[in-house]
Chain A
Amino acid sequence: MEILVCVKQVPDDSVAVHLKQGTQKVNLEGITAVVNAFDTYALEMAVRLKEAVGGTVTVVTIGGEETKSAVKDCLAVGADQGFLVSDPSFAGADMLGKSRILAAAAKYLEKVSGKPFDIIFCGREATDHANGQVGCQLAETLGVGIVTDLVDIEKTKAGVCCRKQTEEGYLRIESPCPCVVTVSKPAYDPRYPTIKSKLAARRMSIPVLTLEQLGNIPVQRHGFCTVKVFEPPKRKAGVKIQEEDSSDSAQKAIKMMVDAKLL
């Protein structure tokens, strides 16, 4: 199968993001850029599918030169080739704009290779803005089917059979190819790179696609503008209890909860 995986580079989500003091600008200085966790799950699922049925896994991302490291990370854990889509005119593109850029990139890559993608994988959402939109918008832009929140996938005669996680269980959904899927957290973890795979990834070239290749893409913002960026009010820390005997700590806490009329 010809598989495309769309990934996004995001700031490490285990680090708390704040504003630059006295400004409305988000301060990402010193926070490591990583591949969005859900995109790493999507890539792992795609690579497993390829390993089962054969084919090629291509990774694509949107961003500046610094985003190439995200693609290299993907090449080290199973992707066969990677592309960066980059153009000054993409700055400030919103979700729908990004979906259109990805759609144009997919079409371009298909034209160049002569092999249409059977399936396009995305993470269910990115950990930075958590909108969960791009996969669905990409499917709509391409006019193909979408199955969201996958935890498993297999190839069938008709296309693919997806296991979609729901709040109380799962749905088994069949879709013909081509289609777009978004991936939630499967039962397995993404593989780790080896020193060898990392070195090999570092040596691979990552072609950059610009408007020159992709043609004009309508990436104007759609209908919303930001009027204020702020941090939510902070909660103050209360008292810390640390008695030598844990039983005393527990009792002290209970007494405080009783005094606060919580019990």
Chain B
Amino acid sequence: MNWGNQRDILVFVEQKSGQPVNAGLEGLTSAHALAEVSGGRVLALLAGADNSAGVKRAASCGADVILSVQGASFQNGCGDAFFYALEQMAGKYHPGAVIAANTPLGQELTARFSARHGLGNVQDAVALRIQDGTPVWTVPAYGGTILTNVVPNAVPFAATVRSGAFQKAVTTAKKPLIVEEMVSVPDSALHTKVLESVREIAEEINLEDAKVIVAGGRGMGNKENFALVEELAKVLGGVVGATRPAIESGWVSRAHQVGQSGKTVAPALYIGCGISGAIQHVSSIMNSGYIVAVNKDEDAPIFDIANIGIVGDVMQILPVMIEEIKKRKAG
């Protein structure tokens, strides 16, 4: 693989409420693997109204250089402003690859970048392996039932990485170089205008790092019943997860969604309640340490991957489980 004079790897580290998102930092890990073969540096690009917290965090996750772009244009989540910053930095540093988190913003930026420059682009990568100096990316298809290995045959290229698929890099002793980059976004770069940003979901749900997840699906029946899922999660010190039907029914906010359009998770213990096991959901919990499933349909696909499958009515099983765990905790 010939990197020519495009050896640096540029990672767009997305921030939310002033903090880098997990997959943004995890992007630095794959960038490191690439930089080792390209012989370049890992450049972390942060764009925000105030990058102070984000820069600190990115510095401990293995960036060689942090490009900090600050300004009011990046306050309200306008994709055009972030894309302009990315374009400017890519134009200045000529990276061999541009990496972002596989979030809506990361997808948009890499899509636009690849379209503007006619580049190859891999999305939602779940693994990266270097084989004879060539990066081999693994990407899922068909809800995760099929995986494909792809290799770039030209630089630069773009990629997004799935949240939780790559470990965050450990703190390196080396201090990164922090560069304040001045980027003022001209009006001509702004096709769209953010009028208002509304926060509806106040809770911070960290499914990716959870050790225990108790998730509920359509089989919970209604919002009142879904409270049992929440109670079981509470007694186990776990996080509440949910399938798409449970969220679309309004039983719990979409911050809890596990599955293709939600989060991929890998807790030590996953308990699925009233979840039949749609392909997209099953793929997203596959790497859990131990899976327990409760469902009244004994042919539910989730039983095919569960360590323990309890065939029965969630409304009868869950209260007993909750009581038993409470008793054990008290004793």
Contacts and interface: CB of A to CB of B under 8 A. Distances in A.
A, B from the same assembly: yes
Interface of A: 11, 13-19, 26, 94-96, 99, 124, 127-141, 144-149, 161, 166-176, 179, 185, 218, 221-232, 234-243, 246-247, 249-251, 253-254, 256-258, 260, 262-263
Contacts of A127: 143, 260
Interface in B266-280: 268-269, 278-280
B286 A232 contact: yes
A238 B142 contact: no
B192 A174 contact: yes
Contact of B312 (A13, A99, A124, A246): A246
A232 B144 contact: yes
Interface stretch (B47-55, B175-183, B197-205): B197-205
A145 B201 contact: no
Contact of A96 (B121, B146, B194): B121
A169 B201 contact: yes
A230 B150 CA distance: 12
Contact of B150 (A135, A225, A232, A240): A225
Contacts, number: 267
A174 B193 contact: yes
Contact of A13 (B143, B307, B318): B143
Contacts of B154: 223
Interface residues of B, number: 88
Contact of B114 (A96, A174, A218, A246): A96
Interface centre among B79, B80, B278 (most CB of A within 10 A): B79
Instruction: Classify the secondary structure of B's interface with A.
Output: mixed
A169 B303 contact: no
B33 interface: no
Interface string B42-67: 00000000000000000000000000
B196 A149 contact: no
Given A128-B142, A140-B111, A235-B305, A227 B298 contact: no
B191 A246 contact: no
A171 B120 contact: no
Pairs of residues from A and B, 3 with the lowest C-beta to C-beta distance, nearest first: A223-B120, A145-B191, A136-B111
Given A237-B309, A241-B309, A258-B328, A169 B198 contact: yes
Contact of A257 (B292, B298, B317): B292
A168 B200 contact: yes
Contacts of A146: 79, 108, 112, 191-192
Contact of A247 (B108, B148, B157, B320): B320
